[in-house]
Amino acid sequence: MFGDQVKSLRLSRNLSQVQLADQLNVSKQTISNWENNNILPSIEMLMNISDYFCVSTDCLLELNNRKYIEVTGLSDTQLAHIQMIIEDILKTSK
């Protein structure tokens, strides 16, 4: 569920609910309500959460599990290095 995704992503970054609330410009109670699946965010806020955690909105809604890394502004050489690191990590995790 959406709340489980938000909580998991928040904890993976070692953030408290208060810290995440500050980052997203919402109250701690809003974060708590999301994580407890009491309410869902607006579409605009869903997009903000998606951007903040570098995951697709589909991932947040558990339609798929695709995640991404923001690489805007990096050179082609830097992107190639990052791709090699990712490939190495994937090889060692098999």
Q: List, for residues 15-39, the tens digit of each pLDDT value.
A: 999 999 999 999 999 999 999 999 9
Q: Percent of the chain having pLDDT more than 90? A: 69
Q: Which helix (H) or strand (E) holds 67?
A: none
CATH, domain range 1-94: 1.10.260.40
- Domain coordinates of the chain in residue numbers? 1-94
Question: For residue 1, what pLDDT band results from cuts at 50, 70 and 90?
Answer: confident
pLDDT at 62: 85
Tens-place pLDDT, residues 72-93: 899 999 999 999 999 999 888 7
Distance CA 35, CA 15 (A): 13
Contact between residue 65 and residue 53 where contact means Cβ atoms under 8 Å apart: no
The end-to-end CA distance of the chain, in Å, is 28
Confirm if 57 and 50 have CB atoms less than 8 A apart: yes
